Amino acid sequence: MGYHIDTGLIYEKFSTKCDCPLCEIQQIVEEQFLHEFLNDAVMEDNTRIKVGKKGFCEKHFDMLYSRPNKLSVALQVGTRLEKIAPEFAVTSGNAKKLAQKLHALTGSCAICDFVEESMVKYYKTIAQMYLKEREFYKILLSTDGFCAHHYAELIKYSDHAGLTKKDYKKLLSTVQTRSIETVRNDLKAFCDKHDYRKALEPLGKAEFALPNARTKLYGKKYD
């Protein structure tokens, strides 16, 4: 279930004004895997083995269940429950360690793993684009930054920018710092608006200060 890393998609999303272009890319990647898990992948032995071992997290269970093909979901969840059912019968041993093991049964996710594997390829590709494609510098500089998680991941894989990794990290920091400062100013304007002395002043884009701050801190929210 590998996916080709489309530099065209990177150019498209990084050229669009949004709070985090990587959240936009991740949404597309995630939808691809959700589609696979509801269709062809359900019949693949390797996928069923992975689901049996990892299961689904709460988020991806809900996303799968919200779509029409309930049979695919039932078959895969049944595979997972068959795998972990014996664990619920174990009561001997250290209680805290036993509880930790039981909590871990719903703490892994096959879809999360596949999505993360694909996103790592994007982080590496973006760094390589900075190194090899001159026009990408201006596009990256003009973005509105990233959510905290995706910014950290870009920094984590910045070595893939080769000899330009120092400049690449500096540019990422410049873009992110500017973005955070904009959100801070909007939050201040939003708070100031609640002062009766400024009640008649236009709120402008500060109206969206809290949703934008939410995206910067935690990433884009979608179903």
Cα–Cα dist 13/158, whole Å: 19
Output the CA angle 60-114-5, nearest 5 degrees. 125
Cα–Cα dist 14/145, whole Å: 10
Domain parsing of the chain, residue ranges: 7-218
Output the CA angle 57-62-63, nearest 5 degrees. 100
Neighbouring residues of 83: CB distance < 8 A, sequence distance ≥ 6: 52, 53, 55
- Residue 198 vs residues 114, 176, 181, 202: alpha-carbon distances, Å: 49, 30, 22, 9
- And the tokens for 5? 């890393």
Any idea of the CA torsion for 122, 125, 126, 131, to the nearest 10 degrees?
Answer: 170
pLDDT tens per residue across all 223 residues of the chain: 334 577 999 999 999 999 999 999 999 999 999 999 998 777 788 888 899 999 999 999 999 999 999 999 999 999 999 999 999 998 888 999 999 999 999 999 999 999 999 999 999 999 999 999 989 999 999 999 999 999 999 999 999 999 999 999 999 999 999 999 999 999 988 888 776 666 666 666 778 889 999 999 999 887 5
